[in-house]
Structure 1
């Protein structure tokens, strides 16, 4: 049996996709949940250093966790994923890229004891963006699980904060319309909360935000100026038109710094 089949997907159901300019290659289901740039931006924004521990809640096939492990070698990486097939795929992706990562199949609301006993220096998450009601369900169950919220966002934040060590940081990426919930959860459990809006183009409202908080932090809330993802007022030619800072993140595994 092939490794792809053991991961719960037939070989023909998977594609092998390059991230970080080819520094990382990930198997992803062709018809299931597939990573865009969101987990790459999340990983690039994490202020982790070699030797630190990182937990990702809902790691899927591993794009954020493994992008972070590629950018910052020497991290102790742990991913939580409730879907067996995606967890197995994350393990395979970690192995194929030579990145040590412990992938645990579990729901974030029922973490195993060995995970509950650990505090992590950094906790990250790219939760499902959409509430389960008032939308058309995706035909693929794995894609639907990656898009539609079943566990409330407040619970994601509470669990992340609980698993974070004193002085450690929690970083989420989410949709801009969920900012009220993000801020409520972050401010209830974390300090030194920062919000980094991500605008598609100059003059357009942000669609995504990065939220970061420190366990035990005391500095005031900070709202940063939007980072603009694309050059120009509109997409005018074939190919990418990412802003230089974002292109460096996506192609060269550069850090993503919150703006002034």
Structure 2
């Protein structure tokens, strides 16, 4: 997936962090110069959550807070809680919360989704969103940079664990939204079976008649409605520019209806 070009950036500070701006400059984002860096996936993930004012959202694997901050910017009245296993990433995420003036509305905590902090009560959330590691454990050589390895390759928690925890944390009939590799759809659908319904598959087409590498998935806990394949969204024009529909999400903060 193409890395998002920040609308603005400043030189790295002594801590090795750089401030970028996403969502048309409305979200300020400190992130490491070296290691894992935010691409466009968290922006599309946040755009796909059908959140309403006063909803409570949980993000599993919050990273430096990009998706949580994009969602909170799009819907100013909701609250987002996030859990992140990487202590340094969670620390940067809370700095980003302060940087964007969202303290009290966005809260990122350190924690392992296999051993959730007690303050996260089951069956509490209106929505759970996630951008899990794309590669199964053992399927790729992990990056020597620890944060990039954790972001790209599954650790102790495998994809089925992420989906199981989401089911536990959601209220009945509430929404799960995730973005993942299209070639793992079979695994995703198998893990959702019997727990979720009204599943919507929303491909992100790169353009040029190429197959979709990424897909957004929305599902509702305890619903029996059949699965639906949506038209999806084309990301790029023939000359490589983002399409107007992609720009509306990435720059203007538009939501996606899945």
TM-score, normalised on structure 1? 0.90
Structure 2 distance, partners of 1:228, 1:186, is 26
Q: Which runs of no fewer than 5 residues in structure 1 stay unpaired?
A: 1-8, 236-240
Alignment of 1:141 onto 2:146: yes
Question: Is the 8 Å Cα contact of residues 20 and 252 (structure 1) preserved in structure 2?
Answer: yes
SS at match of 1:46: coil
Q: CA RMSD in A?
A: 1.5
Residue 21 of structure 1, aligned match among 16, 21, 24: 24
User: Deviation at 1:38?
Assistant: 0.3
- Residue 88 of structure 1 is matched in structure 2 by 91
Residue 45 of structure 1, aligned match among 39, 44, 48: 48
Question: Is the 8 Å Cα contact of residues 120 and 163 (structure 1) preserved in structure 2?
Answer: yes
Structure 1 distance, partners of 2:154, 2:194, is 20
Structure 2 distance, partners of 1:131, 1:11, is 35
Residue 217 of structure 1, aligned match among 223, 228, 248: 223
- Residue 152 of structure 1 is matched in structure 2 by 158
Structure 1 distance, partners of 2:96, 2:243, is 29
User: Deviation at 1:39?
Assistant: 0.5
- Residue 116 of structure 1 is matched in structure 2 by 121
- Residue 252 of structure 1 is matched in structure 2 by 252
**What are the superposed Cα offsets for residues 31-50 of structure 1, whole Å, 9 maximum, x if unpaired?**
12111000000000110011
User: Deviation at 1:117?
Assistant: 4.3
TM-score, normalised on structure 2? 0.91
Structure 2 distance, partners of 1:224, 1:248, is 18
Question: Is the 8 Å Cα contact of residues 202 and 216 (structure 2) preserved in structure 1?
Answer: yes
- Residue 71 of structure 1 is matched in structure 2 by 74
Q: Structure 1 stretches (4+) deviating beyond 3 angstroms?
A: 9-12
Question: Is the 8 Å Cα contact of residues 206 and 226 (structure 1) preserved in structure 2?
Answer: no
What is the correspondence of 1:203-242 to structure 2 with a 5 Å cutoff? 203-232=209-238, 235=240, 241-242=241-242
- Residue 5 of structure 1 is matched in structure 2 by none
Higher mean C-alpha displacement, 171-180 vs 135-144 = 135-144
- Residue 6 of structure 1 is matched in structure 2 by none
SS at match of 1:167: strand
User: Deviation at 1:116?
Assistant: 3.0
User: Deviation at 1:77?
Assistant: 1.0
Structure 1 distance, partners of 2:220, 2:158, is 21
Count of residues in correspondence between the two structures: 244
User: Deviation at 1:181?
Assistant: 0.9
SS at match of 1:79: strand
Q: Which runs of no fewer than 5 residues in structure 2 stay unpaired?
A: 1-11
Structure 1 distance, partners of 2:253, 2:162, is 27
The 1:11/1:190 distance shift into structure 2, 3 A limit, reads: farther
Question: Is the 8 Å Cα contact of residues 123 and 168 (structure 2) preserved in structure 1?
Answer: no
